[in-house]
Amino acid sequence: MSSPAEDAVWRALDGVRDPEILRPITELGMVQSVAVDASGRAEVSILLTIAGCPAARRIEADVFAAASAAAGVTSAEVRVGVMTPEQRRAFTERVRGARGSRPQQFGPDSLTRVIAVTSGKGGVGKSSLTAGLAVALAARGLSVGLVDADVFGFSIPGILGLSRDGRTEQPTRVDDMILPPVAHGVKVISIGMFLGDADPRSTAVSWRGPMLHRTIEQFLRDVWFGELDVLLLDLPPGTGDIAITVGQLLPQAEVLVVTTPQEAAADVAVRSALVARQTGQRVAGVVENMAGLAQPDGTVIDVFGSGGGELVAARLSEDQDRPVPLLGSVPLSPAFREAGDRGTPAVLGSPGDPAAAELLRIAERVAGLGRGLAGRSLRVTPR
Ligand SMILES: Nc1ncnc2c1ncn2[C@@H]1O[C@H](COP(=O)(O)OP(=O)(O)OP(=O)(O)O)[C@@H](O)[C@H]1O
C-alpha cells in the first residue's frame, strides 16, 4: 500500500516527460520505485535506457523538482540506474506500440504530412527557412519532425542550437531504435549527428548515390519520430540523388521550393521542382527568400532584384489544374541571420523581425494547406 505522500509523488512524476520521447516517464516504465518515509523524505529510483544517455541530467533534475514539490514531501533524493536488456526491450515496445515489429513510418497510409524543402541553388536560405518553419509549426502545437538530408551542407543542427563549438548533439540509441534530439519542440535528425567525434566544421562527407539512399532509408525506418503531424525534409540543393530517393520512399511528399528574387535563379529552381514532380510528388508552393532589405530611412534595397518567386510560381503553374502559390517573400534581415547563428531561430527569439514575421505567416499558410484526407483511415479516438 502506498502512502498519500507516495501517491502525490507518482502524480507529480506523471508530469515529467522524457525530453526525447516527449511522453511521461511513468508511462514509459522509467520510474522503478517511490518511497516516502514518515519524516517526508522521498527517495525516487529511475531507470535510464543506457548509461550516460544525453537526456540523463535533465530527467534527473526534472524528477528531483517534481518529487520535491509533491504534497507531504520535505526532501527528495533521486537514484539513477540503467535498464536491463529485458527492461529495455519492454521500453522500446512501449514506445513503438506493442506491434512487435517495426512500424512503417510515413507510409502511404500515414496521416503525417511530409514536406520536402528544395532549392535549385545552394545558399538561398533553404535550411534557415526549413528550420524556422519547423519551429513555427511546433509552436502552433503540431508534432513536428525534421530530417536534415542536406549531406553536403548539414547546417540544421547549428541553426537549431544542437551544435556548439564543433560538437553536435548525438541521438540516443536504444538497441535498434534511434531517438532524435529535440530542439525547440522539433525532433531533429541530421547526417551531421553521425560523424562521431569528428568536428562537422572540418569534416567532408563524400557520399555516393546508393549510400545516400540507404542513409535516408535508415533515417525513415530506425529513427523513432512517434506520431507526427508534419515531417519536414531539408534536401540538398539541385536535382540530385536525394530528391529521387525521397520520391521513391515518400511519394506522398509535398515539395516547397525556395528561391531568391533573382530572375536568373528561376530556371534552376524550376528544374529542382520538376524532378520532384517527375517522381510523383506534388509541388505545394514556392517561398521567396532574401527579398528587399529595409533601410533605417524606410527605403528598401532589392539586393537580389525582384520577381523571382512570382516567376517560379507562374512557371510551375503552367499546365496544372491547381496553380502553385507563392506562399510568401521573406526579406533579407541581419537579425534573422544572427538568430540562426546563435541557435535560436528568429521565429521564436524575435518574432517581430520582418523576416521572422513573414516566415510565421508562411507557416500559417503551410499549416492550412494540408493534403486531403479522402481515402485514408483516420486515427480518431472517441471521447
Ligand atoms: N532572409 C535572410 N536574411 C538574412 N540572412 C539570411 C536569410 N536567409 C538565410 N540567410 C543566411 O544565409 C546563409 C545561407 O543560408 P542557409 O544555410 O539556410 O542556405 P541553404 O540554402 O540551406 O544553403 P545550402 O543548401 O548550401 O546548405 C546563412 O548564413 C543564413 O543565416
This complex has an ipTM of 0.97
pLDDT over 90 at 103, yes or no: no
Q: Which tens digit of pLDDT belongs to each residue from 269-318?
A: 898 888 888 888 889 999 999 988 888 888 888 888 788 999 999 999 98
Q: List the one residue out of 198, 231, 196 whose CA is nearest residue 216.
A: 231
pTM: 0.81
Q: Which pLDDT band, with edges at 50, 70 and 90, does 380 fall under?
A: very low
* Binding-site annotation, residues for ATP: 120-127
Domain contains 382: no
Q: Which pLDDT band, with edges at 50, 70 and 90, does 376 fall under?
A: very low
Ligand 1 pocket, residue 342 CB under 6 Å: no
| Residue 28 one-letter amino acid | L
58 sits in which H/E element: helix 56-69
Going by C-beta distance under 8 Å and a sequence separation of 6 or more, which residues neighbour residue 89? Answer: 175
Domain contains 376: no
Angle among Cα 124, 126, 129 to the nearest 5 degrees reads 115
**Which residues are paired to 164 by β-bridges?**
167
Going by C-beta distance under 8 Å and a sequence separation of 6 or more, which residues neighbour residue 131? Answer: 146, 156, 159, 160, 234, 340, 345
The more confidently predicted of residues 36 and 211 is 36
pLDDT of residue 249: 83
pLDDT over 50 at 80, yes or no: yes
Q: Which residue do the cell numbers 541581419 mark? A: 334
**Which residues are paired to 168 by β-bridges?**
163
Ligand 1 pocket, residue 150 CB under 6 Å: yes
The more confidently predicted of residues 97 and 310 is 310
Are 310 and 269 contained in the same domain?
yes
Backbone angle region of 244, left / alpha / beta, with phi > 0 → left and psi within -120 to 50 → alpha:
alpha
The grid coordinates of residue 219 equal 533515417
Q: List the one residue out of 45, 40, 44, 46 whose CA is nearest residue 75.
A: 40
- Containing domain of residue 62, as a range? 4-96
Are 220 and 257 contained in the same domain?
yes
What is the Å distance from ligand 1's center to 126 Cα? 6
The more confidently predicted of residues 214 and 35 is 35
Are 81 and 126 contained in the same domain?
no
Q: Which tens digit of pLDDT belongs to each residue from 142-155?
A: 999 999 987 777 88
pLDDT of residue 76: 95
Number of structural domains found in the chain: 2
